[in-house]
């Protein structure tokens, strides 16, 4: 019996790159790739068919990658990897703020892209498996099984990566995680040089939780190392 394949939507306007990535991914027999060359076609294709993951270029004709990402996030939590020719931190942060789970800067290694695709799909499958767990820190409540987070009883919308980051830290209050540990646990790969991706996720997470980095309640920076989560003392939480 043939193995069911993961369906990947590849949105890349440069045909040589699109063809090369498609060929590299489809060497893995578990992937089926649909490639399109502009943002409008991407939105139309996504609306017509179901995909397990999206690889999305930032610079696209007709509709930009930002607008495509926003359109997908309006209806789906499908994992998104953003591709960009720009290496500036602002562009990476914008992509993550819009809901992308990961990014790669061109030129990138096809082998690394395949590894990241596999990691995000594994994580998506794990996240879909129910875990009967609620982490209650007073103002902050993390419903792991319901995939929900609330602050002062108001639900906070997080991306899949932000939720994974928060639950990873919150399960072990006081434990310091290095950036590289968080890359492996949250994003699912161990390539060096992408530790700063975690900084972007933490920045977004703090903003959504209302956690001031200068006077944090939950997320603490350990300078030169990484991050830790602290459960407020009952006196502080009341």
Show which of 128, 150, 175 is a domain's final residue. Answer: 128
Instruction: Please indicate, yes or no, whether residues 119 and 189 belong to a single structural domain of this protein.
Output: no
> What is the domain-level CATH number for residue 202?
1.10.10.10
Asked if 81 and 100 count as a contact pair (C-beta separation under 8 A), the reply is yes
> What is the domain-level CATH number for residue 71?
3.40.50.2300
Average pLDDT over residues 147-169: 91
In a domain, 85, yes or no: yes
In a domain, 91, yes or no: yes
Instruction: Please indicate, yes or no, whether residues 11 and 38 belong to a single structural domain of this protein.
Output: yes
Question: CA triplet 55, 59, 64: central angle to 5 degrees?
Answer: 85
The pLDDT-based confidence of 22 (bands split at 50, 70, 90) is very high
pLDDT beyond 70 at 126: no
Instruction: Please indicate, yes or no, whether residues 122 and 141 belong to a single structural domain of this protein.
Output: no
Instruction: Please indicate, yes or no, whether residues 96 and 61 belong to a single structural domain of this protein.
Output: yes
Residue 140 parent element (H or E): strand 140-143
Instruction: Please indicate, yes or no, whether residues 185 and 222 belong to a single structural domain of this protein.
Output: yes
In a domain, 1, yes or no: no
Give the whole-number percent of the chain exceeding pLDDT 70: 85
Residue recorded with tokens 């991706």: 197
The CA distances from residue 161 to 34, 126, 154, 176, 204, in Å, are: 24, 13, 20, 19, 11
Asked if 15 and 40 count as a contact pair (C-beta separation under 8 A), the reply is no
In a domain, 149, yes or no: yes
The pLDDT-based confidence of 221 (bands split at 50, 70, 90) is very high
Show which of 128, 155, 173 is a domain's final residue. Answer: 128
Q: Which contacts (CB < 8 Å, 24+ apart) does range 182-185 have?
A: 182/226, 182/227
Instruction: Please indicate, yes or no, whether residues 119 and 175 belong to a single structural domain of this protein.
Output: no
Q: How many CB atoms lie within 10 A of CB 107?
A: 8
Instruction: Please indicate, yes or no, whether residues 208 and 161 belong to a single structural domain of this protein.
Output: yes
The pLDDT-based confidence of 219 (bands split at 50, 70, 90) is very high
Show which of 113, 128, 143 is a domain's final residue. Answer: 128
Task: Give pLDDT, residue 237.
Answer: 45
Number of domains comprising the chain: 2
Containing domain of residue 55, as a range?
Answer: 6-128
Report if pTM > 0.85: no
pLDDT beyond 50 at 1: no
């Amino acid at each position: 019996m043939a193995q069911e394949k993961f369906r990947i939507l590849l949105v890349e306007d440069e045909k040589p790159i699109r063809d090369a990535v498609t060929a590299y991914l489809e060497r893995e027999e578990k992937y089926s790739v649909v490639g399109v060359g502009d943002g409008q076609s991407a939105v139309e294709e996504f609306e017509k068919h179901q995909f397990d993951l999206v690889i999305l270029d930032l610079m696209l004709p007709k509709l930009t990658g930002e607008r495509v990402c926003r359109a997908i996030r309006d209806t789906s939590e499908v994992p998104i990897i953003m591709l960009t020719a720009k290496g500036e931190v602002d562009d990476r942060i914008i992509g993550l703020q819009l809901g992308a789970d990961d990014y790669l800067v061109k030129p990138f290694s096809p082998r690394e892209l395949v590894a990241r695709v596999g990691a995000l799909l594994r994580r998506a499958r794990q996240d879909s498996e129910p875990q009967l767990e609620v982490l209650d820190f007073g103002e902050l409540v993390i419903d792991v099984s319901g995939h929900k987070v609330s602050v002062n009883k108001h639900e906070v919308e997080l991306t899949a990566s932000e939720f994974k980051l928060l639950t990873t830290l919150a399960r072990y209050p006081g434990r310091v995680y290095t950036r590289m540990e968080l890359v492996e646990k949250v994003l699912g790969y161990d390539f060096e040089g992408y530790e700063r991706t975690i900084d972007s996720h933490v920045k977004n997470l703090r903003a959504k939780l209302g956690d001031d980095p200068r006077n944090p309640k939950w997320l603490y920076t350990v300078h030169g190392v990484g991050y830790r989560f602290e459960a407020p003392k009952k006196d502080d939480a009341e």
